[in-house]
Structures are given as C-alpha cells and as structure tokens.
Amino acid sequence: MTSKQITYLLLGLLIFLFAVDILIRMFYCSSVHLSFNSQEFNNICSPIISLLGFFGVIITISLALKQFKHQQGSNYFNYYRDYINNIANENPITNDNLVFSTSELLQFPIYSWDKFDELKKYPEYFHDLEKFRSGETVNSENKPYDKILINVRLFSGRLDILLKRYISLIIEIDTHKTLDNSQKSLLLKGLFDSQVEKYYNGCWLMETDNELKEIKDSFYNAFASVMKDQLLVFNSNFYKLKVLIDKRPDLKKHTQAYVADEK
C-alpha cells in the first residue's frame, strides 16, 4: 500500500467518523437535551470500534510489509553494487600472459590495433585472408601467424563472456521484483559509468576510425571451414550488447554518444 493510498484511507475514515458523529447526535438528541441509553450506544459503537481496529491492523501490516520490502531492496542493491565493482576490478593473477583483466578487455580497440600490427609482419595471413574471403578452404592451424591468433582467440572468448555477463546483469536488474525504480536506475548508471560506457564508446570508435574500420573487417581469430560468420573478432555476438542499448533510451542515456546526439 502506497503512502497516497494510506492518506486516502485515513481521509475516508475521518469522513466516516464525522458521519457517525452526526448520526449519533441525530438519534440521541431531543431538542437541546441528550438522552443516553448505554446499551444502545454499545450496540452502535462496538462494531464501529472493531472496524476501526481492523483497519488499523491492515495499515500496520501494510506498513510493516513495505518496510520489509524496502529492507530487502537495500540488501539486493548492496549485493548488485558490490557485484558490479567486483567485475570492474577483476584482475586474474597467473603466470601466463593469456589471461585478461576487465580493464584490458574493455580496451579492445587498442588490443586489436596492436595485434593487427603484429599480423602485418606475416604476409601469409593476408594471402590466406583473400583466399578465405573468396570461398577457398583455408586452415590457419600451425601457420606462423597462428601464435598471434591463439592469443586473439582467448581474448575474444573472454570478451564474449564479459559482454554476456553485462547483458544478463542488465536484464536481471531491470526485471528484479524487489528493487525499486530508483535503485535499478542507480545500479545501471554505476554499471555504465564504470564499464559498459567504455564498451559502447569502443564500438563507436571501431565504426568511425578509418584504420579501425579496416581492422574490424579484416580481423579474424582463425581460418576454418566451420562457423565462418563467427570467426570475425567483431562478429554479431560482439554487438549484441550495443543493439540492446540502442533499442532502449533509458540505457543509451548513460552513454556519452547519447549526450552528444542530444546536443
């Protein structure tokens, strides 16, 4: 029960009490003297008092449930806020160089630039790329440049998992039954400010920078005869989060690109 509904209920009770008072006076008053019969008075007032007590119990229970829901919402809010911070600060410590932190994954334009520059040292990659595009069967396994693509495949896989976590988290927060709208908005803003905005701006950069546009169209993590549409580093899975954001103004408002468009 909302505060407005409680106010209307109390106002209705007040009007009801005024009406009862007027009826009692009309029933008991004779000229200017009040004739009082305690038995009749009890017969009239006892049900009214019981009814008021019943309404009081309902209001008390409603307020208690509202307070309980608010407490639950606060607990879930703290949980999701900590979870978002944990994702942002994930920095795996291992002895190899093939594990990436969240911060490194979100710098995918820089990573792509660097790795594509490394591939330029291997003309065989671009020769195989042309054959692959023309429909010939090409396999990158055991090729000199495949050492680079091994790293790229791992990076792409980790980035794909991260973006799926973002999509799942956005939907989970958005459909949560205990969080109120203000809590949901704060959580999503925190997620975008710390992480998703970097992804969205990176996508914008991949679409506007001429060199990165060329990289986007020519950067494959492998050459194989299966799942060709998914071998591009920046395939349809990579853009699913951007598509979700672009469809929803309430999400896109958290991106700098949206603010620039509005201006």
Residue 84 forms part of a structural domain: no
Domain boundary among 14, 41, 69: 69
Confidence of residue 263 (pLDDT cuts 50, 70, 90): very low
| One domain, residues 187 and 240 | yes
Residue 193 · residue 254 · CB < 8 Å: yes
Written as one letter, the residue type at 260 is A
Alpha-carbon gap, residue 108 to 87, rounded angstroms = 17
Confidence of residue 75 (pLDDT cuts 50, 70, 90): confident
Residue 179 forms part of a structural domain: yes
Question: Tens digit of pLDDT for each residue in 175-206?
Answer: 988 888 888 999 999 999 999 999 999 999 99
| One domain, residues 109 and 12 | no
Would you call 240 helix, strand, or coil by DSSP? helix
| One domain, residues 53 and 134 | no
| One domain, residues 215 and 125 | yes
pLDDT of residue 73: 61
Alpha-carbon gap, residue 224 to 136, rounded angstroms = 10
Residue 33 forms part of a structural domain: yes
| One domain, residues 52 and 95 | no
| One domain, residues 149 and 215 | yes
| One domain, residues 113 and 157 | yes
Map tokens 């949980």 to a residue: 79
Structural domain including 32 reads 3-69
Compute the Cα dihedral for 91, 94, 100, 104 and give only its sign: positive
Mean pLDDT computed over every residue of the chain: 81
| One domain, residues 150 and 202 | yes
As for how many domains the chain has, the answer is 2
With CA atoms as reference, report the closest residue to 159 among 100, 229, 222: 100
First-to-last C-alpha distance (Å) of the chain: 41
pLDDT of residue 226: 81
Alpha-carbon gap, residue 159 to 162, rounded angstroms = 5
Residue 177 · residue 76 · CB < 8 Å: no
| One domain, residues 121 and 152 | yes
Residue 79 forms part of a structural domain: no
Residue 82 forms part of a structural domain: no
- Specify the pTM: 0.72
| One domain, residues 42 and 104 | no
Residue 76 forms part of a structural domain: no
Domain boundary among 41, 69, 97: 69
Alpha-carbon gap, residue 187 to 172, rounded angstroms = 11
Alpha-carbon gap, residue 167 to 245, rounded angstroms = 10
pLDDT of residue 154: 93
For the chain, give the number of residues: 263
| One domain, residues 155 and 43 | no
Over pLDDT 70: what percentage of the chain? 68
Is 97 a residue whose pLDDT tops 60?
no
| One domain, residues 53 and 144 | no
Least confident stretch, 112-121, 224-233, 250-259: 250-259
Confidence of residue 259 (pLDDT cuts 50, 70, 90): very low
With CA atoms as reference, report the closest residue to 187 among 70, 80, 102: 80
Which structure tokens are listed for 239? Answer: 């853009």
Domain boundary among 69, 98, 119: 69
Is 4 a residue whose pLDDT tops 80?
no
Residue 77 forms part of a structural domain: no
Residue 59 forms part of a structural domain: yes
Question: Tens digit of pLDDT for each residue in 35-71?
Answer: 555 555 555 556 666 666 666 666 666 655 666 566 6
